[in-house]
Amino acid sequence: MPTAAARQAKRVPRGFERRELNVNGADVVLFVGGSGEPLVFLHGAGTASGFHFSASWAGKYTVYLPYHPGFGESPDSAAIATIDDYVLHYLELFDRLRLDSVRLVGLSIGGWIAATLATQNSHRLKKLALVGPAGLRVPDHPTLDIFRLKPEEVPAHLVHDLGVLAPYAPDPRGPDFLEFLVNDYHEMSSYGKLAWTRPYDPDLAKWLHRISVPTLLLYGDKDRVTPAQQAETWAGLIPNATVRIVKDAGHLVLDEKPEAPQAVLEFLS
Amino acid sequence: MTWQDDLQFYSMHFMPYVHLPPDQQQYDSLWVDFSNKHYDPQKGYELYQRYFREMVLADQLGYDGLVVNEHHNTMYSMMPVCTAAAAALIPVTTHAKICVFGVPVTFVMPNRLAEEYAMLDVMSGGRLEIAFPLGTGMEYWSNSVVNPSTARAKFRESVDIMIQAWTEDGPTSYDGEFYNYRYLNVWPRPFQRPYPRCYVVGTGSPETIAFAAERGWGYASVFVPIAQQVKTFDRLRETMPKYGHEMTPDKAMANTIVYVAETNEAAEREVIDHIKYYFTIAARTTPRFLNPPGYISLEQFRIRAGAANKMHGGFDWDEMTKNWRVAVGTPERVAEKIAGWCEEANSSRVICHHHIGDMPHWKVVKNMTIFAEEVIPRLRPQAKRAERPGSNTLRTAGAT
């Protein structure tokens, strides 16, 4: 087994500190790095490829990288089973860490949580960046039902360039393989609570007009999970939205192209 | 009370669809996403005709119970609605208990299932027995409007609702996590009071054992290795008294594959390909389908992911006859093996799979008949047998 330090180095940029918090009964692990006004990043359904894209953000902001309860190093919380539960959990986390005027960045289901939070609590935010967000029903360009994929089909649906995931691919004969499978089953089980029936909230479109902060919609043009064409629907519903499409990148656009986290940084500044 | 005092034999049928395409080997699962374009209703009709004849024969031969169960999106079983199969059996049988083992209650409304079972019990004059399965992982992919992560909690609540509907005069109301009933008042009520005999079906997971122990119900183990079945019953013997119940031999259902012929060699020759078909073809599926997200705890997942997948796709005959409840051979040999298992598990309920895999009709008839006439009398003392209702043919056979 690799050391805790080695595991952390694989996941987050150098200089980030690992913290454990109890947020009204929910045990969470988060990484904190950099300095400045707060930037919170909400991850997607899988965390195996880490958070290295956030390095440049830490040069300007205090970056918070929490694991959602039920994902990565954060255990399940009996109280948390729906998107609204996650929204309230993050409001409690903001309270706990005394965060206001938050720059909130959400990828995939993290984007779903972030957008829902913004419909109810834009006043807690400074700006919002949604990266390949899940959560919206777009019948002509539907979100991929990831549960229909065989395990071996998943990587090619996440990235345009498979080489990006190579450092995180498990070795089936390695000592960590069983733990990789267990973590994957854990995260898929937590994601399944939210999206087994459908990977969106049929009511979200009714309330996106309430998002009152400047919002960025960022996609890879080859996104096979949340197709980039969904950007138009989001932007049509959110009053102050900017769309940015990055060429030759998939759903994990932040990992694939340095210009993607750079675009987020520029937008948030 | 020992296992010998009230030994009973149930005959179970999966009613598989066996006309598979020649390239079936290329499909890694014959469940969930194996296309129904491969199903020919004309051939299905002929199979139903034949399979129901086999179950009727089991009744005529004096078997104590006829067992049907339910699976979805698969050639493994043509009974996605097993209560329909039970209803078809009632008017064409006279003695055997009709055992519906059973509908995964998470996929239906509990009041509706309470009604269906009550109907079957009244229609059969009280011949119904019921087992409650959670449903295999595969069923949750096939019925994906139900979330596997809440399946166990929903299962418990649904059973509570059914028991309330059967035991309290209606109308009552129910206020739960998943269901709210304003007027719970099922018509008809069950024929048997307070309600038909119930079992839990399972592989021996801690969750299903606890569930059976709390209610004092029997446990119908699915086809898993002997050691696992014995361990399950031992655990029930320990835990049931904590809930004020006693684990008796009639609550331990031993699940067996049997085949009887004139010689051990003939029996093995006649049956081995069908058993192999069952394990390598009918039961073949993938780890993904076995364990949908949230269906099992991380502890259980760790155990299962670490173990080889023997049941669903693998086959080793020597291992199987040693560690699994597979009894193949002459009546003497089969009787001896079953007696040993019943003794070891203190079990007086034996579920026999007489039809297995793609077995042809003549072998099923042969197997079922020799078993009834030559194996059962060896296991059931003459005096005890005569007291039992519903075994006319066996008594006749014993007298000739």
What is the least distance, in Å, from the CA of A215 to any CA of chain B?
33
User: Which residues, given as ranges, of chain A have pLDDT below 50?
Assistant: none
Q: Find the mean pLDDT for residues B75-87.
A: 98
Helix B331-345 × helix B226-239 angle, to 10°: 30
State the best of A83, A147, A178, A189 to mutate against chain B, taking most chain B CBs within 10 Å. Answer: A189
Question: Is B397 a residue whose pLDDT tops 50?
Answer: no
What pLDDT does residue B383 have? 41
Interior angle at CA A256, CA A250 and CA A257, nearest 5: 110
Question: What is the spatial distance between Cα B303 and Cα A148, in angstroms, rounded to a whole number?
Answer: 25
Segment B103-142, tens digit of pLDDT: 999 999 999 999 999 999 999 999 999 999 999 999 999 9
Distance from CA of A20 to the nearest CA of B (A): 21
Q: Report CB contact under 8 Å: A192, B145.
A: no
Please give the pLDDT value at position A41: 98
How far is the C-alpha of A63 from the C-alpha of A44, rounded, in Å? 17
- Angle, in degrees to the nearest 10, between helices A177-195 and B298-306: 130
Delimit the domains of chain A by residue range.
4-268
Q: Which is higher by pLDDT, B16 or B397?
A: B16
Beta-carbon contacts below 8 Å between A and B: 46
The CATH code belonging to domain A4-268 is: 3.40.50.1820
Percent of chain B residues past pLDDT 90, beyond the cut: 83
> B145: nearest CA in chain A?
A197
Sign of the dihedral defined by the CA atoms of residues A168, A172, A178, A183, in that order: positive
Q: Hey, what amino acid is at A24?
A: N
Q: Which residues of A touch B (CB under 8 A)?
A: 81, 147, 150-151, 178, 181-182, 185-186, 188-189, 191-193, 196-197
CB atoms within 10 A of CB A86: 26
Residue B296 to residue B299: CA distance in whole angstroms: 8
pLDDT at residue B393 in the model: 40
Q: Given this model, what pLDDT does residue B28 score?
A: 95
| Residue A268 Cα to chain centre, angstroms | 16
Alpha-carbon B46 to chain mean position: 23
Size (chain B), residues:
400
Tens digits of residue pLDDT in B261-298:
999 999 999 999 999 999 999 999 999 999 999 999 99
Q: What does the pLDDT look like over B225-250, one tens digit per residue?
A: 899 889 999 999 999 999 999 999 99
**B291 neighbourhood in chain A, CB within 8 Å:** 185
**pLDDT per residue as tens digits for the range B199-220:** 999 888 888 999 999 999 999 8
Q: What is the pLDDT of residue A174?
A: 84
pLDDT of B142-201, one tens digit each? 999 999 999 999 999 999 999 999 999 999 999 999 999 999 999 999 999 999 999 999
Count of beta carbons in the 10 Å neighbourhood of residue B259: 28
Peptide bond into B194 cis (omega under 30): yes
- Nearest of B247, B315, B252 to residue B284 by alpha carbon: B315
